[in-house]
Amino acid sequence: MSGANLFEQQRTNRRRSAVLVAIFLLFFAWIGFGGDYILYLSTMPAAAPAARGGSRTPYHHTFPWFGLGTTLLGIGMAWYGWRNGAKQVLWASGAWELVQASKPDEQQLVNVVEEMAIASGIPKPKVWIVPDKDPNAFATGTDERHAHIAVTEGLLTTLNRDELQAVIGHELAHIKNYDVKLMTLLAALVGVLALISEGTWRFLGRGGGRVAGRSSGGGRKGGGGLVVVLLVLWLISVLLAPIVSRLLALAVSRKREFLADASSAQFTRNPAALAAALRKIEDAAAPTAAIHRGCAHLCIADPLGRRINARQGFVADVFGTHPPMAVRIARLKAMAYQYEKTGVMPGTA
């Protein structure tokens, strides 16, 4: 943690979560009500025409139908994603719930989860096993009382008890630090923005662009230019909304892995065990086939094995789901060295 106090980092993490959600909601409002305002300006008549016989008054958009519609759609989809996101992630990975252990490694997993739940100070989450030989793990859920931890069969056969304990501590840290709560909500908001973007472009493709043509026409002194500028900004926003929001979610996920690593070291007092576990996970030959792209950011290691996650720098921060494994391992080894020398876990003093 570079000497930073771990608990202050956790508090900062929560504040940034609230700010991030607020940014998403403000952007969402701009997409909805901004579109209404553009329609309001673009359909404003130059002068009120005199009613003659059967002539019809041109349509003037005054009620924010689009903003209200997209808001209700967003609330509905976000609520559905929030309530069912964890179930969908577990279902998509083919995970099955470990209710009653029938094998020694399953009983060890149950024992470790119970121990680490006590160490982290949160209720014991439900435990799931993913039928995949590649070692990996992830946490999902909406809060501490509605959380799930899933590990692959390969993780149980690859790691020893201390290493398994460290990985479970990492996943419990994601729950305790509100990471799973934030990522579940972000996933829902990203999905809403993607749907709105697709619907908008379909509307424009079916003749909605005529509104843009009217917006640049004469009849209003100085208003046409403003409408064109707003319309261009709005269209760019709609076009880039799914891309930017998805990249933002990935960047958030990448930065929080370091905090979860440090929190695991705090819970177990054994950062070397997590370093050893990450090395074994990194050295596994095959990707985690059971975990799909949409859930990659939830895992302790990238299940797709993408090279971008082995790099550092701006591009990797934008497009990667995880920080470089070598950097994570080096930080944990440094923590282990300092803890061995001083008896104090770095970042918690």
Residues pairing with 126 in the sheet: 148
List of E strands, the chain: 96-97, 126-130, 137-141, 147-152
pLDDT at 9: 62
Reported as a single tens digit per residue, the pLDDT across 187-223 is 666 666 666 667 666 666 655 555 455 545 544 444 5
Q: Both tokens of residue 243?
A: 């891309």
For the question of residue 171 being annotated catalytic, the response is yes
Reported as a single tens digit per residue, the pLDDT across 69-97 is 877 877 777 777 777 778 888 888 899 99
pLDDT higher at 167 or 318: 167
Percent of the chain with pLDDT over 90: 30
Report the chain's terminal Cα–Cα distance, integer Å: 12
Rg, Å, the chain Cα set? 25
Q: Of 32-41, 170-179, 264-273, which range is least confident?
A: 32-41
3-state secondary structure of 5: coil
pLDDT at 24: 72
Helices (H), 177-313: 179-203, 210-215, 223-268, 271-283
Q: Both tokens of residue 342?
A: 């001083």
Mean pLDDT, residues 255-264 taken together:
87
Reported as a single tens digit per residue, the pLDDT across 114-164 is 999 999 999 999 999 999 999 999 999 888 898 999 999 999 999 999 999
Per annotation, catalytic residue among 171, 257, 282, 340: 171
pLDDT at 2: 44
DSSP letter for 129, please: E
Mean pLDDT, residues 98-123 taken together:
94
The residue whose two tokens read 């990448």 is 254
User: Is residue 253 a contact partner of residue 297, using CB atoms and an 8 Å limit?
Assistant: yes
d(CA 113, CA 170): 11
pLDDT at 210: 53
d(CA 294, CA 85): 11
Q: Is the predicted pLDDT of residue 229 greater than 90, yes or no? A: no
pLDDT higher at 227 or 263: 263
Residues pairing with 97 in the sheet: 128
- How many CB atoms neighbour CB 160 within 10 A? 12
Q: Is the predicted pLDDT of residue 282 greater than 80, yes or no? A: yes
Task: Determine the longest span between alpha carbons in the chain, in angstroms.
Answer: 94
The average confidence (pLDDT) of the chain is 79
d(CA 136, CA 301): 7
Kindly indicate the confidence band of residue 324, based on its pLDDT and cuts at 50, 70 and 90. confident
pLDDT at 170: 96
pLDDT higher at 266 or 24: 266
